[in-house]
Amino acid sequence: MSATVVTVTSGKGGVGKTTATANLGTALAEFGQRVVCIDADIGLRNLDVVMGLENRVVYDLVDVIEGRCNLRQAMIKDKRLKDLYMIPAAQTRDKTAVSPDDMIRIADELRPKHDWILIDSPAGIERGFRNALAPADLILIVTNPEVSAVRDADRIIGMTEAEGKEEPKLILNRVRPEMVRRGEMLRAEDVLEILAIDLIGVVPEDEGVLKASNHGIPIALNGRSKAGRAFRAIASRLMGDELPLEDFEAEGGLFNRLTRMVKTGGQPA
């Protein structure tokens, strides 16, 4: 059994990469999967905070790469779930401390004993992004329904194509249904018209996400949160379940259209 390496990226900052990584990792582990989350944002470490593991950090990714500890020592076990681990980024170094080959080597070392390796990519299109992309089997692009985030996502998709990676899948995060209904926010269809890749999940805006992040308790643990349920649904889809996409946008028509899109592989019918 060999793990699937999933890189979570976006181009633009602040769209929810770290939140998505923490929540998908948590949800997958809750479903009984063996998961390691890696924070590849060297110098701007925060996956540990969102996962509530900040005070357990001793060694980090750069320590592993530079041989100050072994991989096992840098893996922090989650407080709640038994098969969830996190490897923190170094806070005092920058992206040049890591190379794409280092990331491939680390991912390969982790593969045999896990089911999923989730890599939280830094924003931007430079070295840090390339490091995070290098070992990826699957790329998840996180975007928000706003023009600038979609533009950056499009650029990132183009760069993954040039790397010869498989077509990424899209997470549309922070959707505000009431704004979409009023025509003030891009609809999923508008975003897909530009990006033309498969949509794997739509996550509604949810105040609980911010609260949960600040408390270090991923929202996916909260079954009553809409965003938490959306992340759990994405985790299920990663595992191969064909769940229909939730309808956060409108009461009627769109639900059916989105469902159809998932079945036909993202091509609007």
Partner 1 sequence: MSIPLSMKGIGDGLLVTVPEGTWSVVRPSLLQAIDERSDFFRGAYVALQMANRSLNAAALGGLRDELSEREIVLTAILTTSKQTRVAGADLGLALEIPRPNIDQDFELDPIESDLEGDEAVLLHRTLRSGHSIRHPGHVVVIGDVNPGAEVVAGGNVVVWGRVRGVVHAGATGNTKAVVCALDLAPTQLRIAAQISISPERKGKPRPEMAMLKNGQFVAEGWEHN
Decide if 168 contacts 7 (C-beta within 8 A): no
Tokens of 206: 């949810």
Site string for partner 1, 129-148 (x = CB under 8 A): ------------------x-
157 near partner 1, rule: CB under 8 A: yes
Decide if 228 contacts 221 (C-beta within 8 A): yes
Measured from the CB of residue 14, what is the shortest distance to partner 1 in angstroms? 18
Among 65-73, 82-90, 159-167, 240-248, the segment contacting partner 1 (CB under 8 A): 159-167
Decide if 61 contacts 92 (C-beta within 8 A): no
The nearer residue to partner 1, 78 or 152, going by C-beta atoms, is 152
Q: What 3-state DSSP class applies to 263?
A: helix
CA distance 45 to 91: 6
Q: Which residues contact 63 (CB under 8 A, 6 or more apart)?
A: 69, 74, 90
Measured from the CB of residue 56, what is the shortest distance to partner 1 in angstroms? 37
The nearer residue to partner 1, 15 or 219, going by C-beta atoms, is 15
Decide if 153 contacts 11 (C-beta within 8 A): yes
Q: Which of 102, 152, 205, 249 binds partner 1 (CB under 8 A)?
A: 152
212 near partner 1, rule: CB under 8 A: no
Site string for partner 1, 181-200 (x = CB under 8 A): ------------xx-x----
Measured from the CB of residue 198, what is the shortest distance to partner 1 in angstroms? 15
- Which helix or strand (DSSP H or E) is residue 86 part of? strand 84-87
Q: Which of 80, 151, 176, 181 binds partner 1 (CB under 8 A)?
A: 151
Decide if 203 contacts 173 (C-beta within 8 A): yes
154 near partner 1, rule: CB under 8 A: yes
265 near partner 1, rule: CB under 8 A: no
The pairing of beta strand 84-87 with beta strand 76-77: antiparallel
Residue showing tokens 């990226």: 9
104 near partner 1, rule: CB under 8 A: no
Q: Which of 66, 101, 126, 161 binds partner 1 (CB under 8 A)?
A: 161
263 near partner 1, rule: CB under 8 A: no
Q: Which of 55, 67, 112, 162 binds partner 1 (CB under 8 A)?
A: 162
The nearer residue to partner 1, 126 or 241, going by C-beta atoms, is 126
Q: Which of 4, 7, 2, 5 is nearest to 169 (CA)?
A: 7
- Compute, in degrees rounded to 10, the torsion defined by CA atoms 2, 153, 88, 96: 100
Residues that bind partner 1 (CB under 8 A): 125, 147, 151-152, 154-155, 157-159, 161-163, 193-194, 196
